[in-house]
Amino acid sequence: MAQDLERAGGGGLVASATTFTAVELTVNGRPHVVQVEPRALLVHVLREQLALTGTKIGCDSGRCGACTVHLAGRAVKSCTLLAVQADGAEITTIEGVGARHELDRLQRAFVEEHALQCGYCTPGMIMSALELVADGEPLSDEEIASGLSGNLCRCTGYASIVRAVRRALAQGS
């Protein structure tokens, strides 16, 4: 496969189907330039090229939310986003949440409320819930549940997840 890199002047990106193209991503505050095919999905680039395997692939069809990351501060499904669409963007993955040896309060609340069992959905749950609690407004359990409707859990059950989000909200920042 040809490895020609093309970048049109002034930020317009032009890439032929078999061409790798340079995409600039700032992930968890660190700038990266990755060479990708136009069809590469963001989740594959994060996991396979940047070795950020905290972001999971679950259903691979936009339903389960295990691949949720933040793009420009908003929760998005990285399996339903082309890496080229994220060119120039700031991305936060689960690896960028909390500090080393210090969990974010939402992650702590998940531990305290036993809101994870196998843990596969947890990175996506946390990324969605972070956006949900970001402005600190009080939420009913129903609002928490509907706010997380884009994330599926198939073992722990949702009651403890909703409790964890509620606890994090009650604790404030």
Positions that interact with other proteins (CB under 8 A): 10-19, 21, 37-39, 41, 44, 60-62, 65, 68, 71, 74-77, 80-82, 84-85, 87, 128, 131-132, 147-151
Closer to other proteins at the Cβ: 87 or 112? 87
Supply the minimum distance, in Å, between the C-beta of residue 166 and other proteins.
17
Supply the minimum distance, in Å, between the C-beta of residue 19 and other proteins.
8
Closer to other proteins at the Cβ: 75 or 94? 75
Closer to other proteins at the Cβ: 48 or 111? 48
Work out the burial of residue 53: count CB atoms within 10 Å of its CB; fewer than 13 is exposed, 13-18 middle, 19 or more buried. middle
**What is the spatial distance between Cα 173 and Cα 170, in angstroms, rounded to a whole number?**
9
Supply the minimum distance, in Å, between the C-beta of residue 37 and other proteins.
7
Closer to other proteins at the Cβ: 86 or 109? 86
H/E stretch holding 151 reads none
Closer to other proteins at the Cβ: 4 or 111? 4
Supply the minimum distance, in Å, between the C-beta of residue 109 and other proteins.
19
Supply the minimum distance, in Å, between the C-beta of residue 88 and other proteins.
9
**What is the spatial distance between Cα 160 and Cα 173, in angstroms, rounded to a whole number?**
20
Closest CA to 121 of 56, 173, 34: 56
- C-alpha dist (Å) from residue 70 to 49, 102, 135: 18, 20, 15
Q: 89 near 25, Cβ under 8 Å?
A: yes
**What is the spatial distance between Cα 81 and Cα 60, in angstroms, rounded to a whole number?**
11
